[in-house]
């Protein structure tokens, strides 16, 4: 009974206003007015498509759809929206009058709802949010509201293997830039109705969707309320990555240490949720934030829980040792060779003295030059094309180190110390904690060059006091070391077998035991799940 046509033209005159003025302005009952305002506010953009549905009898516009090309599934629009409106419009009924459509709501509920989730919008602000989020908007003559139908269909990167947090054993999948894909990856691992989601729109211009996930009854209410409060106080034009959110919601204490976990692994997020933490997912980024974040969590790898407990404990102890080497190795070398030579065996002291005989710089300047050179090579390797970045960083390090030794600028022992320090830095599972260790390394080098071992010891005391004073969303940063909780030491320096660990971490709701509400194991098939 009706035909559709493209009725889009650029910058039509008529209704005045801009997108910024659309907030709270209700939709008009006359479709032509709505169409004119949409064209005006969106500046005649080429990717904004408006299609009108008109009566073959009198040519009146009875309905119109508007969407953003590239954000929608064109097949779904033609199959569910256009076809339904064109073939079933009013089931043969005649319009009650000009620009008035009787029973249009019943029609859409009968034929269009099959397309997916349907919401109603009553003002231009809500209409633009829906259109620019991938919904198709259906305008009806005679009605001051419109339907927003979910037909999202933009191109996106699929679920791929994680590249930054690799493991030998365990899942390979990582998050993508699609928010709904990321939430589904977590849902697949935690099939529980108590896994709740809350979505916020942050950014006055970008209106980025930010989802908060937690397990009801496991996450602390105080932590959840703090997350909500900090998200709701964000005032910014745009959120393009989870790092923007992280900077706004992190604790304001000035520190080098990260107080928020970020990861691209769904299994890691699921494990943190089971521990009582809260996950924050941001649309457009594969990096998910997790709070609160104790210090021990940054030295725990997902693979620790996929290997035997004795293997995992040995590797975790090695990781802690590597952390100390990464922070303190250059400073200890500087302090001992400069102020405390009597601590070295005579043969080693003579060897080091002979190596440094032609070096014109003190040990501190020598170490500082080598560390800065290595940091430059590391950064260059990250920014260069992947095919040659790693080769350039490795070859550059070898060539420059060997040339510096032969030129008498640095000693061979210093090259060894800097190399061991750099290798130890790569053992951190969390990249942001490795950056922290690199910054602390320079501070301890300055203390060692000025005061020797006395300066290193003073620096360690100050560092421990500072770390003990930190909090992450109200939770102690050094828990369960400070304050000491003996019953929570089963998964800190070492990991005891899982059958001995029947309670969650300190971040979980008090008294919550892992097996308190355990459900019986179900078989796959009719009564179980088969993945």
Q: Is the pLDDT of residue 56 over 80?
A: no
Burial of 279 (0-12, 13-18, 19+ CB in 10 A): buried
pLDDT of residue 402: 80
Judge whether 330 and 367 are in contact, CB under 8 Å: yes
Residue 528 has pLDDT above 80, yes or no: no
Q: What is the spatial distance between Cα 23 and Cα 19, in angstroms, rounded to a whole number?
A: 8
Average pLDDT over residues 259-287: 93
What tokens appear for 200 in the block? 């916020």
Per residue in 87-98, pLDDT tens?
555 444 444 444
∠ at Cα 177 (174, 183), nearest 5°? 65
- 452-468 per-residue burial string, b: 16 or more CB within 10 A, e: under 16: bbebbeebeeebeeebe
- pLDDT at position 388, please? 67
Q: Is the pLDDT of residue 527 over 60?
A: no
Q: What mean pLDDT comes out for the span 170-198? A: 90
> Is 70 exceeded by the pLDDT of residue 240?
yes
Mean local confidence (pLDDT), 167-172: 85
List, in order, residues 6 or more apart from 256 with CB less than 8 Å away: 436, 439, 440
CB proximity list for 188: less than 8 A, separation 6 or greater:
266, 531
* pLDDT for 235 beyond 60: yes
> Considering only CA atoms, which of 303, 21, 61 is closest in space to residue 168?
303
Residue 343 has pLDDT above 80, yes or no: yes
Token code pair at residue 500:
């001995």
How far is it, in rounded angstroms, from Cα 205 to Cα 149?
22
In the chain, where the domains are located: 2-150, 179-293, 305-476
Contact yes or no for 139/65 (Cβ under 8 A): yes
Is the pLDDT score of 333 beyond 90?
yes
Q: For the chain, give me the number of helices (H) and strands (E)?
A: 16, 13
- Residue 1 confidence (pLDDT): 38
Of 183-197, 204-218, 414-428, 476-490, the one with minimum mean pLDDT is 476-490
| SS3 per residue for 281-313 | EECCCCCEEEECCCHHHHHCCHHHHCCCHHHHH
pLDDT of residue 83: 65
CB-count burial class (<10 Å; 0-12, 13-18, 19+) for 509: middle
pTM to 2 decimals?
A: 0.81
Q: Quick one: average pLDDT of 41-60?
A: 80
Mean pLDDT across the chain: 81
Residue with tokens 């941001």: 282
What would the mean pLDDT of 201-222 be, rounded to a whole number?
92
Residue 51 pairs in a beta bridge with 6, 65
Predicted confidence (pLDDT) at residue 82 exceeds the cutoff of 90: no
Query: In this predicted model, which residue has the larger pLDDT, 103 or 314?
Result: 314
Which range in 5-19, 366-380, 514-528 is most confidently predicted, on average pLDDT? 366-380
DSSP line for 452-483: THHHHHHHHHHHHHHHHH-EETTEETTTTTTT
Which of 16-20, 165-169, 478-482 has the weakest average pLDDT? 16-20
Please state, in angstroms and rounded to a whole number, the distance separating the CA atoms of residues 342 and 137: 80
| 453: confidence class by pLDDT, cuts 50, 70, 90 | very high
At 132-166, the pLDDT tens digits run: 888 889 888 888 888 888 888 777 777 777 777 88
pLDDT value at residue 104: 53
Burial class (CB in 10 A: 0-12, 13-18, 19+), 133: middle
Q: What pLDDT score was predicted for residue 45?
A: 85
The first and second tokens of residue 429, run together, are 């599972």
* Over residues 356-362, mean pLDDT: 86
Provide mean pLDDT across the span 184-197: 92
Q: Is the pLDDT of residue 12 over 70?
A: no
**pLDDT confidence of residue 141:** 82
- Give 465-503 pLDDT, tens digit per residue: 999 999 999 899 998 898 888 777 888 888 888 877 666
* pLDDT-derived band at 2, boundaries 50, 70, 90: very low
Please tell me which residue, 488 or 343, carries the higher pLDDT value.
343
């Amino acid at each position: 009974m009706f035909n559709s046509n493209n009725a889009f033209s650029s910058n039509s005159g008529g209704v005045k206003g801009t997108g910024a003025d659309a907030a709270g302005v209700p939709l008009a009952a006359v479709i032509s007015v709505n169409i004119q305002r949409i064209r005006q506010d969106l500046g005649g953009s080429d990717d904004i498509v408006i299609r009108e549905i008109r009566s073959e009898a009198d040519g009146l516009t009875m309905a119109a759809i508007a969407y953003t090309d590239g954000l929608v599934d064109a097949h779904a629009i033609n199959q569910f929206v256009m076809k339904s409106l064109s073939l079933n419009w009013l089931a043969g009924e005649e319009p009650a009058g000009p620009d008035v459509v009787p029973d249009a709501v019943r029609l859409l509920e009968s034929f269009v709802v099959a397309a997916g989730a349907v919401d109603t919008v009553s003002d231009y602000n809500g209409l633009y949010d829906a259109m620019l989020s991938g919904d198709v908007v259906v305008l009806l003559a005679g009605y001051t509201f419109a339907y927003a139908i979910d037909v999202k269909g933009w191109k996106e990167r699929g679920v791929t293997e994680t590249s930054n947090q690799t493991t030998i054993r365990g899942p390979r999948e990582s998050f993508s830039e699609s928010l709904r894909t990321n939430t589904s990856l977590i849902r697949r691992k935690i099939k529980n109705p108590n896994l709740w989601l809350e979505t916020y729109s942050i950014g006055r211009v970008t209106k980025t969707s930010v989802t908060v996930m937690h397990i009801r009854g496991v996450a602390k209410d105080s932590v959840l309320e703090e997350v909500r409060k900090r998200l709701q106080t964000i005032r910014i034009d745009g959120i393009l990555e989870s790092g923007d959110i992280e900077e706004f919601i992190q604790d304001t204490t000035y520190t080098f240490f990260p107080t928020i976990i970020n990861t691209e692994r769904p299994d890691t997020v699921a494990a943190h949720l089971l521990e009582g933490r809260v996950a924050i997912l941001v649309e457009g980024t594969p990096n998910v934030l997790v709070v609160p974040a104790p210090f021990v969590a940054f030295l725990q790898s997902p693979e620790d829980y996929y290997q035997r407990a004795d293997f995992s404990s040995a590797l975790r102890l090695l990781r802690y040792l590597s952390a100390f080497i990464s922070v303190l190795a250059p400073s200890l070398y500087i302090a001992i060779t400069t102020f405390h030579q009597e601590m070295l065996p005579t043969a080693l002291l003579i060897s080091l003295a002979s190596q440094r005989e032609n070096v014109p710089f003190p040990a501190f300047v020598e170490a500082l030059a080598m560390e800065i050179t290595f940091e430059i090579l590391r950064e260059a390797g990250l920014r260069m094309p992947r095919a040659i970045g790693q080769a350039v960083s490795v070859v550059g390090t070898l060539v420059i180190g060997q040339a510096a030794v032969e030129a008498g600028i640095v000693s061979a022992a210093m090259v060894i110390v800097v190399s061991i320090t750099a290798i130890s830095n790569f053992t951190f599972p969390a990249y942001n904690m490795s950056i922290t260790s690199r910054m602390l390394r320079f501070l301890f080098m300055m203390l060692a060059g000025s005061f020797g071992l006395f300066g290193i010891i003073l620096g360690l005391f100050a560092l421990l006091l500072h770390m003990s004073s930190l909090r992450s969303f109200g939770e102690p940063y050094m828990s369960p070391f400070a304050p000491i909780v003996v019953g929570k030491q089963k998964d800190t320096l070492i990991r005891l077998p899982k059958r001995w660990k029947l309670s969650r971490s300190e971040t979980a709701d008090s008294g919550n035991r892992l097996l308190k509400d355990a459900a019986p194991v179900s078989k796959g098939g009719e009564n179980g799940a088969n993945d």
